[in-house]
Chain A
Amino acid sequence: MNTHFLTGTIIGVIPQVSTVWSSRDSWETIKIRWSVGRMDYKIEPGIYAIGQPAESSPVFVTANFKLSFDHVRRALNNMDAWLLVLDTKGINVWCAAGKGTFSTKELIRQINLVGLEKIVNHHKVIVPQLGAVGVSAHEIKKNTGFSVIYGPVRAEDIHEFMEAGMKATTEMRAVKFSTWDRLKLIPVELANGKKYLVLVPAIFLILSGLNRKGYSVDRAYQDGLRSVFILLIAYITGCGITPILLAWIPFRRFALKGLLTGWLAAFILAYFHFLGQGTIEIISWFLMIGSLSSFLAMTFTGTTTFTSLSGVQKEMKTAVPAQIGMAGLGVIAWIVSKFIAS
């Protein structure tokens, strides 16, 4: 467990945490964003003290994912408050609320476990608004006597929220998904496919040696490296470029957005003669790049903040068969092109 941010204890037993990030915290944030040991950064659930809290100090609830915990404690700088950390198995508030670990049951459990009514003399807990997906305010009230006040979506608005008498503005209630927000998510998107980033290029590298006369290692090397480069471009287009440009690419369906950017990338590659000389090989690459980019763009629905289950299901009904068909045809055409070319 991580404990380097603890600065002492309050009332003898409650750990006090720093509200300032150390260089280690900043480094760990970068690592988590790149998906390096992402799940190793859990915080021990329970109650923590921020500053020198008293009985009347507010109670903030968060998840035991280190990024969540870090952003909340940093936002509480210069405040005296209690921080109640739920056991969400190291997952952030919104996802954990969707998965049922940031839940009514877990909040009730922690309120009772830490003896919250002996620590504070009021009956209020401030839950981040996105926690509402998993927490039922009236159920908490009924079971513990504590009223749930939904705080702002973003921790950085907490000070303003408190100054306004625990009232969030419409602005604070809205989930935004800016280009910068998306940019921060690109590393993890790129790292998601690491399992396939070796396997698929390796297969293409080996198959590239095929030709009419049998097998040529020189060919595998030359055409193979070119194939790997093309695949990498398709990969980056699908899960890097498309998410960043999401708002500016036409179409509502992610699969179509990805297909469009994939084909644009293919056009550029074709223009610079990267897709080979033969018509069949060029067509095969259009099919493969298009389907790969389209599929990867579609999986970005899971990262966005505005796609609904019903919408994604509707999109997938036509997109998945099309992607599989295109990819299959593409691979066949590509292999055929090996035997046609001299």
Chain B
Amino acid sequence: MNGLVYLKNVVTLELDQEKCNGCRMCTIVCPHAVFAIENKKAVIVNKDFCMECGACEKNCPENAISVRSGVGCAAGIINGILRGTEPTCDCSGPGSSCC
């Protein structure tokens, strides 16, 4: 990660280990190695690395993971406030772009 870690203790990631079937899918889809498997169950090992992308929640067949996913983008959040919607990446009209 070459020192690039964001704020501590803010992410909304939760894992319900009771529901976990040990399929490892969360360890596959997570881009920041937040999960590991211990005793055939998923555990959160690097919570502060989580960027709330939501890939784990989406690919957990047992619905054991929950996270308030969204764009970690200041412009997107301002956009959401101005339009009264959720934070959104669509910061531009037709013909231009954002990310």
Contact residues of A between 117 and 166, Cβ < 8 Å to B:
129-130, 132-138, 150, 153
- Which listed residue (A129, A248, A253) contacts B28, Cβ 8 A? A129
Total contacting residues, chain A, CB less than 8 A: 53
The yes or no answer to B17 lying at the interface (CB within 8 A) is: no
Whether the pair A302, B89 counts as a contact (CB closer than 8 A) is yes
The yes or no answer to B37 lying at the interface (CB within 8 A) is: no
- Which listed residue (B29, B53, B77) contacts A98, Cβ 8 A? B53
**Considering the chains assembled together, what is the distance between the CA atoms of A90 and B95 in angstroms?**
11
Whether the pair B68, A309 counts as a contact (CB closer than 8 A) is yes
The yes or no answer to B70 lying at the interface (CB within 8 A) is: yes
Q: List, in ascending order, chain A residues with CB within 8 A of B40's CB.
A: none
Given contacts A38-B97, A98-B53, A247-B2, whether A132 and B58 have CB atoms under 8 Å apart is: yes
Whether the pair A305, B51 counts as a contact (CB closer than 8 A) is yes
Q: List, in ascending order, chain A residues with CB within 8 A of B90's CB.
A: 99
Total contacting residues, chain B, CB less than 8 A: 48
Whether the pair A150, B29 counts as a contact (CB closer than 8 A) is yes
**Considering the chains assembled together, what is the distance between the CA atoms of A130 and B17 in angstroms?**
24
Can you offer 22 A-B residue contacts whose CB atoms are under 8 A? A35-B96, A90-B97, A91-B97, A98-B71, A132-B55, A134-B58, A136-B59, A137-B59, A150-B29, A173-B33, A174-B31, A253-B7, A302-B74, A303-B73, A304-B72, A311-B11, A312-B72, A312-B73, A312-B77, A313-B77, A314-B10, A316-B74
**B23, closest chain A residue (CB):** A138
